[in-house]
Amino acid sequence: MSENVVLVKKEGNTCTLVMNRPRVMNALNLEMVVGLSKALEEVSGDREIRVVIVEGAGDNFSTGADLSLLAQDFSGGEWLEAMKIFGKLVTLLREIPQPVISKVRGAAVGGGCSIALAGDFVVASRDARFCLNFVHIGAALDGGATYTLPRLVGLVKAREIALLGEFIGAEKAESVGLIYRSVPDKDLDREVGLLAGTIASKPPMAVSLIKEGLEESLGMSMKQVLEWEASHQSIMLQTPEHKEIVGLFLKSRGK
């Protein structure tokens, strides 16, 4: 894999993964998808890293699949294998213990939009634009968008976004719950940095477990959720991390 396709930058307890094909608006190819997956696998086991940021180099997040790939005459089996590789990337974004912040400038289109929406927080420049354009190219949604989209905005709005395939500005995306926040471009770096710092300051075991629980809950009944919470909470309430925090709180109150 070329070192330049995915850049990995570690600073303190934050790791930034940069999709680095700015000349083609960070269009996705196999090399980039595999590179992102490998980086996420490594970060997943790094206890020093508490937050992951995913962004695109240059002026855009990602415009989705490289059109040169779509023009090739791959067999159904070859496409199936490629989609499974892409699916692995999205699964890692959802399941690594660290929260993922998608930092979006410019265009987040097709599979690039799907990657952005797979993050736990999407923070975008107000100039950013989101589009699930699959309907325009005669394709189904991919990159987990069939799963994430209705859970973010509800089924009615999901139909509008997916079936019309229109571009959505960052401010509208925030207003309908598609993304976490939109800010002026000049403030984007600072906003993402502050959010990463806030997350990193929280107890890491609690953050990881809450992320996991929210994800798992989407396929559970209330009874199953309560059972999951009971089994995990009974462990968390015995951890040194929890006991230290409670002890400090009680000490501050003079108890």
pLDDT digits (tens, 9 = 90+) for 105-149: 999 999 999 999 999 999 999 999 999 999 999 999 999 999 999
Is the pLDDT confidence value at 255 over 60? no
Q: Which residues of 50-87 are buried (b: 16+ CB within 10 A; e: fewer)?
A: bbbbbbbbbebbbbbbbeeeeeeeeeeeeeeeeeeebe
CA distance 145 to 27: 17
Q: Is 228 helix (H, G, I), strand (E, B) or coil?
A: helix
Name the token pair of 154: 């509800």
Residue 101, pLDDT > 60, answer yes
164-174 confidence digits (pLDDT tens): 999 999 999 99
- Band of the pLDDT at 10, cuts 50, 70, 90? very high
- Averaged pLDDT score across all residues of the chain: 95
Q: Which CATH superfamily is domain 6-200 in?
A: 2-enoyl-CoA Hydratase; Chain A, domain 1 (3.90.226.10)
CB neighbourhood size of 188 (10 A): 23
Domain with CATH 3.90.226.10 in the chain: 6-200
Q: Give the pLDDT band of residue 245 (cuts 50, 70, 90).
A: confident
Q: What percent of the chain has pLDDT above 70?
A: 98
Both tokens of 60, joined, read 């855009």
pTM value? 0.94
**Residue 1 pLDDT > 70:** no
Average pLDDT over residues 42-60: 97
Contacts of 183 (CB under 8 A, 6+ apart): 123, 124, 125, 126, 191
